[in-house]
Structure 1
Amino acid sequence: MRTVAVVSAGLSNPSTTRLLADRLAEATDRALRLGGEQVEVVHVELRDLAHALTDHLLTGFPSGPLAEAIAGVARADALIAVTPVFSASYSGLFKTFFDVVEPGTLEGKPVLLAATAGTARHSLVVDVAMRPLFAYLRADVVATGVFAATDDFGGADAITPRVDRAARELADKVVGRLPVAAVADPFAEPVPFEELLRG
């Protein structure tokens, strides 16, 4: 069983960001199943975690649904990360989520990047803003990023070829990797204090 985590930072409900995230998830699911893989898709809607993210920044600890979302991303074999564009970059909510993910969580993990905006003039945001962030996080980002402007959601379906190509690239990276082992909880088996004193 392969798990794909889909992180969407759209603020409205419904949002074009979530619509694009869903299309990418469906295309990736199809591509993996064509390769004989069983797939589970886990959705993380950051809009619902905004308060918990602020609490985490203040306390240093994730609570309830945020802890589950972070664990889901850590356990996933691949990640689809989609953000709306604000001020020519990813949204603050999107960045905050990846700020609180533990260092090393995304190291080597296949990632597909995508963004939405009102006009095509923001189309370079995937390569100019998002790709450097995920390079810093040491993720294995697929070559094709997907950008969708408002016009891409009406009339002619211009983004389907990009969606399908990016999904195939992500599926190829997932199939080429061993499944992610269960993430070990570093506090599950603590060393007794007496043993620490002896050692």
Structure 2
Amino acid sequence: MKLVVVSAGLSSPSSTRLLADRLAAATLRHVDAEPEVIELRDLATEIAQHFVTGFPPVRLAAADGLVAVTPVFAASYSGLFKSFFDIIDKDALTGKPVLLGATGGTARHSLVTEHALRPLFSYLRALVLPTAVYAASQDWGDEGLAQRIARAGAELARFMAPATRDVIPDVDTTTAIAPRSLTGAITSVHPADGFEVVPFEQRLAALQAE
């Protein structure tokens, strides 16, 4: 298995890369996978050239799980981060579990993972894990951040683990479907009960019925 880690930090060292490394380490404590780190600042020229040449710099299709971490710019993800995910193959992340992370200077941007990152990866048809991790400057060294990292890593590892790659009962019927055929949101992950994936069509129908 392969765990791909995408870090959009611009400095070296950066808090964004630090968070990405800690999320990857928390995941690898629970699953045997080969990590591959993609530093977007090293690909900035190639990413810019893609918009002229049409050739993406990397492919994510071989990943079994993804950790994606961005610094906050103007209350959202960075332009470099968005540009990278703009140029990957449109089907590269379909059905893949994605753990989201972001870093910023203040806790006021803590919802960036929900109002910016989560919709982006839902649009890419990835399976976005329930726990996303935001780290403000004052959070480093705090026990709460360490706990969120550990929980998020365990969630990603559980979805990547071979046991979870067997068939999963469909939410509505007894028909079994493969995890990679699912597109939706993972709404819960429990150590004993596994995870629940609710297709977007079902969620929309439930909201319309209320």
Q: Write the letter of the residue equivalent to 2:69.
A: V
The Cα shift of 1:149 comes to 0.3
1:124 aligns with 2:111: yes
Aligned to 2:135: 148
Aligned to 1:192: none
1:170 aligns with 2:156: yes
Q: Write the letter of the residue equivalent to 1:76.
A: A
Radius of gyration: which is bigger? 1
Ranges of 4+ aligned residues in structure 1 off by more than 4 Å: none
The Cα shift of 1:158 comes to 2.7
Aligned to 2:102: 115
Aligned to 1:44: 38
Aligned to 2:199: none
Aligned to 2:2: 3
Higher strand share: 2
Residue by residue over 1:38-66, the C-alpha shift from the partner in whole angstroms, topping out at 9 and shown as x without a partner, is 3100000000000000000111113xxx2
The Cα shift of 1:112 comes to 0.2
The CA RMSD measured in Å over matched residues stands at: 1.7
The Cα shift of 1:156 comes to 3.2
Aligned to 1:55: 49
- Structure 2 residues not aligned, in runs of 5+: 167-178, 180-210
Determine helix, strand or coil for the equivalent of 2:61: helix
TM-score (norm: length of structure 2): 0.76
Q: Write the letter of the residue equivalent to 1:75.
A: A
Higher helix share: 1
Q: Write the letter of the residue equivalent to 1:133.
A: L
In 2, distance between residues paired with 1:156 and 1:102?
A: 38
In 2, distance between residues paired with 1:126 and 1:53?
A: 23
Determine helix, strand or coil for the equivalent of 2:91: coil
Q: Write the letter of the residue equivalent to 1:56.
A: H
Higher relative contact order (CA 8 A, sep 6+): 1
In 2, distance between residues paired with 1:156 and 1:146?
A: 13
Residue by residue over 1:137-169, the C-alpha shift from the partner in whole angstroms, topping out at 9 and shown as x without a partner, is 00001000000001112x433311000101111
The share of aligned pairs that are identical, in percent, is 57
In 1, distance between residues paired with 2:134 and 2:148?
A: 9
Aligned length, in residue pairs: 167
In 2, distance between residues paired with 1:108 and 1:177?
A: 11
